Amino acid sequence: MKKTIVTLSFILVCTVILFAQANSPAASKVRGKKVYETYCLACHQVDGMGVPNMNPPLSKTSWVTGDKTKLIQVILKGFAQSVPIDGEDYSNNMAPHNFLKDQEIADVLTYIRSSFGNKSSAITAAEVKAVRAKTK
């Protein structure tokens, strides 16, 4: 009986640790890099510097390091407005990426917010879910 309790406890602890790791910002960032390479890199480039006049940089821009809701909405709705980004115009349209799962969006945003010289906090799947529910 005692043995069973120890075993069960061990399994429980392991599960908690694994679960915690899977949802740690570090693990999210690792997964986010893969998402970035698949869906973002072609335009925003390997160094996150974007393309002058065409695709905005992700490095040290207020759109990436600032308000999470606004950033999550760019992924969900794309970007096709004539709005200057930190004073510069960028011409290429970004298609909506709402086909990505909440966790994938959280991962890729966690990645870009902590890469290319950025040092902003992680974004969770729950935060993406909440914004998605309010975004039409």
Partner 1 sequence: MKKNMIRLGSLLTAIVFCSSSWACTGDSTRHEGGDAATAVTPDANNAGLKLPAGFGALKIIDNIGRPRHIVVNSKGEVYIKEFRLKDGKGIYLLRDTNGDGKVDTKVGFGNYNGTGIVIKNGYLYASSDEEVFRYKLDANENVIDTAHPEKIITGLKKGRQHETKSIVLDDAGNIYVNIGAYSNSCQEVDRGKGSKGIMPCPILDSAGGIWRFKADKLNQTYGDGTRYATGLRNVVGLDWNTQANQLFVMQHGRDGLFQMFPEYYNEKQSAELPAECLYALKEGDNAGWPYIYYDQQQKKKMLAPEYGGDGKKSVDDKYIDPVYAFPGHLAPNGLLFYTGNMFPEKYRNGAFIAFHGSWNRAPEPQKGFFVAFVPFKNGKPSGEWEIFADNFAGKEDIASPGQAEHRPCGLAQGPDGSLYVTDDTKGAVYRIVYKK
| Interface ranges with partner 1 (CB under 8 A) | 37, 39, 41-43, 45-47, 49-55, 57, 78, 80, 82, 91-96, 99
CB of 44 to partner 1, least distance (A): 9
Residue with smaller CB distance to partner 1, 6 or 46:
46
CB of 45 to partner 1, least distance (A): 4
Residue with smaller CB distance to partner 1, 51 or 130:
51
Structure tokens at 94: 């970004």
Residue with smaller CB distance to partner 1, 24 or 98:
98
CB of 64 to partner 1, least distance (A): 16
